[in-house]
Amino acid sequence: MKTAATYDSEAGTFTIEKDKWRGTFSIADLPKWLHFYRQQQERYPAHAHSYGSDVEALEGLAVILACGQ
C-alpha cells in the first residue's frame, strides 16, 4: 500500500493517508511522526517493509517543506 502525505499551509497541518486510514496532525509534529515510523521499522524488522511507504511519504514532505514548497 502506498502512503500519501499532504500539507495544508493554511491550517498548518499535514495528513497521512494509507488505504482507508487517514490522520491529520500539526506540521510541528512531522519530525515526531517520521521518528515513530522509523522506530517501527527497527522494532519490527519482519514488518519493516510495511512502514517503508510511510517513511518515504513523510521524508518527501519534509524535503518539500525544507525547500520552501
- Report pLDDT digits (tens) over 27-60: 999 999 999 999 999 999 999 999 999 999 999 9
Looking up cell 521524508, which residue turns up?
Answer: 59
What per-residue confidence (pLDDT) applies to 69?
61
C-alpha span between 34 and 11 (Å, rounded): 20
pTM above 0.85, yes or no: yes
Q: φ and ψ at 38, to 5 degrees? A: -65, -40
Domain positions in the chain: 3-68
pLDDT confidence of residue 5? 97
What local confidence, expressed as pLDDT, does residue 68 receive? 81
Return the C-alpha cell found at 25.
496532525
Name the average pLDDT for the chain. 94
- Given a contact cutoff of 8 angstroms between Cβ atoms, the answer to whether 41 and 55 are in contact is yes
pLDDT band at 14 (very low <50, low <70, confident <90, very high): very high
